[in-house]
Structure 1
Amino acid sequence: MQPTVWNNILHDPGNRTYKKIVKAGFATPRGGAKGGYQNHVTRSSRVIIPFEHADKVDFDNYEQGAVVRVTAPQAAKIHKNDGFENRGDALYIKIRGERRQAFVLYRSQSDLETFPIPENWYPCEMQVKGVSQSKRSAKGVDVGHYLRRVPRDSKNLGIQQGIFAPEYTRRRVNYACQVFLTHLAYRTEGHPHDPNADHVKEILIALNIHNEDLWRYEGIVDEDGISTCPLCNRRIAHEELHETIDPSLVPGLANSGVQLGETRSTLINLYHLRPLLYTSELGHTPQNIAWGHAHCNTFLAQRVSFSLRALMNSGKSPNLDLYWDNDEEFIRASDGRAWVSLTPMPAGAESFSEYIRRENLDNAIGSEMDDVDED
């Protein structure tokens, strides 16, 4: 295997940073198996486009192809209007005048009653030289008409169809993103000097994405060049890349565990400055990523991460249903459900994990390795 800049990081016990950067290059499931999504596969894989979002995306963006997901209630209406084209081995639907491959997703008994599976349809599968495969393959051909994912049903059928489309990016862009995350990892506070850092910087310059002024403006690094969380502006300590946090033990974060869908989360995760949505523009790019706190990501939800400088330069309350509080130290959603601190942290200020320890909440912080299965 060709070595990459991120698997040569020194001072990386257990290859933790390497594994974190590799993980950032893969898509994660939205709905997982029950939605027909693949997990832990490259971001340049085939994508699933929900029918209700199909008019928002540019299908030409997806070099490995795209398939339209149709729910059973949607299928009932489409079928009534002769909207499906069954070519025998696969299903197609017209999107903006173009025929696109599609599948119908059945997720409940009600779905099966709303739009019974036609007798001449069969489950989605992948074939290589006419032979059905149990896993997706770059050399395979997708055929079939539907997925059956009904809870507690022994008849669930069909192979996973692709990844969450907003997480898609082209292979070369994904590589650039991983190089940039490597660069920011080297710039976390307390990271030992590594001779590979200069090589990583040279790659960013060669790719024309090295821009210190822009990074400071967006809150990705501070005035001293240390990596920071774009939302709260705290410096990111080197060890925080691999520490986990139990939000239920931290004041003000008690509900974050529910929102994150887990008890512990890595303290520092991949962070998108603008949310990944169904649009004609791809969102996972070096210009739109950083390292940031998992809880800041939770508070931000599907909003644009305005930097403190951008907010101050706007001269008015930011758009997208966010507004300042009276002290101009926080932004809050218009319905009041979430707020985050935007107070700039002075140089040398404590990291988030240091704050947790100062508040005698040591049990909230753990090692990433504590949650690793040894099977």
Structure 2
Amino acid sequence: MVTLCNDPNCNLLANHKGKHQFVYKKAWKDHFTAEDINKIEKAGYCTPRGGAKGGYQNHVNRNSKVIIPYEKLSEVNLDNYKDGYVIRLFPSQYFVKKHTVNEEFINNSSVVVGENAFVLYRTYEDFENYPPLPAWQIRSILKYDKGKKEYCIPSKDRGGNMIDRGHYLLRISNSGTNKKQNKFEGPAQGIFAPEYADSDTNFLCQAVLAWLIIKTEGSPYNESDFEHLEAILKKHNLLDSPHFENDYILHNGKTTCPLCQKVILHSELNEMISFDDEEGLENSTDQVGSTRSTKVNLFHMVPLCYSSLENIPTQVSWGHATCNTRLGQRRCYSFNDLQSTEIEIEIVKGQEKRLLGYANATQNFIRSTNGDVWIRIAKGNE
């Protein structure tokens, strides 16, 4: 029996030496294969959905500085971002005309370009119509110089003791209709905000995912080797949480895909995807080389968004890449979730009525008693 430190913010063994430590990945790394260790590490990274053209960092830890688009500012709780944030403005938002700042940003201490905000130029048209102010500088990263006791060492790396300086970023591509050069200046400013999780939350998500790897069909691991991981999950009320079975993250103790509810094989975690026998996706086989996706990937029960942080331990699982594609930016509902809505969907054939299943409140997700799923892919007129 493994006993952990009494400190609520420490996941080391009881009577450990040295400082307390919340993040302790050796709980699974000591026994996992290199492939599975890498699988868990990638789950703790941001995906490249933001793109370099938006000034986003990709494939870095979720506990990183985030970019908040100005138009999303009213949706977010800035206190959520413990690792900092920066507000992104487009030139047409910040300026009303050449060198004339929009009134809402004058004497506005909540959005200050050069301090907690930057302007992103993506087209030559914007660069010419709303050029940077004469005193502005391109964004840069400065590291701390211990000798000089100031931030003065230029860097492309956001790690360590550093600050951001400057006012604007250039991500201007040649459209192909002119002979102008691409302008790509200034370092990436942060991650896609919906992907954010603080360090402790990110660790617990990875711990859950590690446990679910152990629970896959054909897993090469012995659960008795992971007592420390089990103790961590138990300490944070995650080991015996009923949501695993209720949401079909586990079924009868085996890891399952929450959408199709099929048991996940350990071999699928690192095998490349195939679209064979995938209803509705047969014509996607030519994408295999370009997607380079494994059969099973990180699966979010609730879609990531700006208004709340959804990359949390009770909402992460493993799911099929094809199921992820089908689900898109929708919540994954279990049959119990839908049955509780009491919204019944029936098939009527003449005088005969048959219960098809149950729908969610917005009626864009239906699940039948046998696990079949229908998802609305387009919304018609009211």
User: What is the TM-score normalised by the length of structure 2?
Assistant: 0.77
For residue 94 of structure 1, report the CA deviation from its aligned partner. Answer: 3.0
**Partner residue of 1:322 out of 354, 358, 364:** 364
Q: 1:322 to 1:160 in 2, by over 3 A?
A: same
Q: 1:192 to 1:156 in 2, by over 3 A?
A: closer
**Partner residue of 2:375 out of 311, 321, 332:** 332
Three-state SS of the structure 1 residue aligned to 2:40 is: helix
> Could you tell me how far apart the structure 2 residues matched to 1:54 and 1:203 are?
36
Question: Does the CA contact (< 8 Å) of 1:8 and 1:196 recur in 2?
Answer: no
Q: Give the structure 1 partner of residue 310 of structure 2.
A: 283
Question: Does the CA contact (< 8 Å) of 1:26 and 1:42 recur in 2?
Answer: yes
Q: 1:325 to 1:130 in 2, by over 3 A?
A: closer
> Could you tell me how far apart the structure 1 residues matched to 2:259 and 2:64 are?
30
Three-state SS of the structure 2 residue aligned to 1:197 is: helix
Question: Are 1:196 and 2:225 counterparts?
Answer: yes
In the alignment, residue 106 of structure 1 is paired with which amino acid? Y
**Partner residue of 1:118 out of 120, 133, 152:** 133
**Partner residue of 1:82 out of 82, 100, 103:** 103
1:188-237 residue CA offsets vs partner (Å, 9 max, x unmatched): 01113423333322210011222342211111011x21000011100001
Question: Does the CA contact (< 8 Å) of 2:335 and 2:368 recur in 1?
Answer: no
Matched pairs, number = 325
Q: Give the structure 1 partner of residue 7 of structure 2.
A: none
> Could you tell me how far apart the structure 2 residues matched to 1:84 and 1:132 are?
29
Q: Give the structure 2 partner of residue 235 of structure 1.
A: 263
| Cα RMSD after superposing both structures | 2.9
Is the radius of gyration larger for structure 1 or structure 2?
A: 2
Question: Does the CA contact (< 8 Å) of 1:247 and 1:264 recur in 2?
Answer: no
Question: Are 1:147 and 2:158 counterparts?
Answer: no
For residue 123 of structure 1, report the CA deviation from its aligned partner. Answer: 0.7
Q: Give the structure 2 partner of residue 272 of structure 1.
A: 300
1:234-272 residue CA offsets vs partner (Å, 9 max, x unmatched): 000111111111338855214657999934311100011
> Could you tell me how far apart the structure 2 residues matched to 1:308 and 1:80 are?
53
Q: 1:231 to 1:107 in 2, by over 3 A?
A: same
Gaps of 5+ in 2: 1-22, 144-150, 175-180, 344-358
For residue 334 of structure 1, report the CA deviation from its aligned partner. Answer: 6.1
> Could you tell me how far apart the structure 2 residues matched to 1:256 and 1:283 are?
29
Question: Does the CA contact (< 8 Å) of 2:47 and 2:58 recur in 1?
Answer: yes
Three-state SS of the structure 2 residue aligned to 1:94 is: coil
> Could you tell me how far apart the structure 1 residues matched to 2:368 and 2:159 are?
55
For residue 6 of structure 1, report the CA deviation from its aligned partner. Answer: 2.7
More helix by share: 1
For residue 300 of structure 1, report the CA deviation from its aligned partner. Answer: 0.8
Q: Give the structure 2 partner of residue 52 of structure 1.
A: 71
Three-state SS of the structure 1 residue aligned to 2:322 is: helix
The answer to which of 199-208 and 225-234 deviates more is 199-208
Three-state SS of the structure 1 residue aligned to 2:116 is: strand
**Partner residue of 2:117 out of 97, 102, 121:** 102
For residue 330 of structure 1, report the CA deviation from its aligned partner. Answer: 2.4
Question: Does the CA contact (< 8 Å) of 1:5 and 1:196 recur in 2?
Answer: no
> Could you tell me how far apart the structure 2 residues matched to 1:213 and 1:163 are?
32
Gaps of 5+ in 1: 87-91, 338-375
For residue 114 of structure 1, report the CA deviation from its aligned partner. Answer: 3.3
> Could you tell me how far apart the structure 2 residues matched to 1:33 and 1:140 are?
21
> Could you tell me how far apart the structure 1 residues matched to 2:110 and 2:376 are?
38
Alignment of 1:196-275 (within 5 A): 196-222=225-251, 224-247=252-275, 250-254=278-282, 262-275=290-303
> Could you tell me how far apart the structure 2 residues matched to 1:185 and 1:144 are?
44
In the alignment, residue 111 of structure 1 is paired with which amino acid? D
> Could you tell me how far apart the structure 1 residues matched to 2:210 and 2:365 are?
33
Question: Does the CA contact (< 8 Å) of 1:256 and 1:295 recur in 2?
Answer: no
Three-state SS of the structure 2 residue aligned to 1:132 is: strand
Q: Give the structure 2 partner of residue 43 of structure 1.
A: 62
Q: Give the structure 1 partner of residue 340 of structure 2.
A: 313
Q: Percent identity?
A: 37
Question: Does the CA contact (< 8 Å) of 2:86 and 2:117 recur in 1?
Answer: yes
For residue 176 of structure 1, report the CA deviation from its aligned partner. Answer: 0.6
For residue 335 of structure 1, report the CA deviation from its aligned partner. Answer: 2.2
Question: Does the CA contact (< 8 Å) of 1:219 and 1:308 recur in 2?
Answer: no
Q: 1:21 to 1:247 in 2, by over 3 A?
A: same
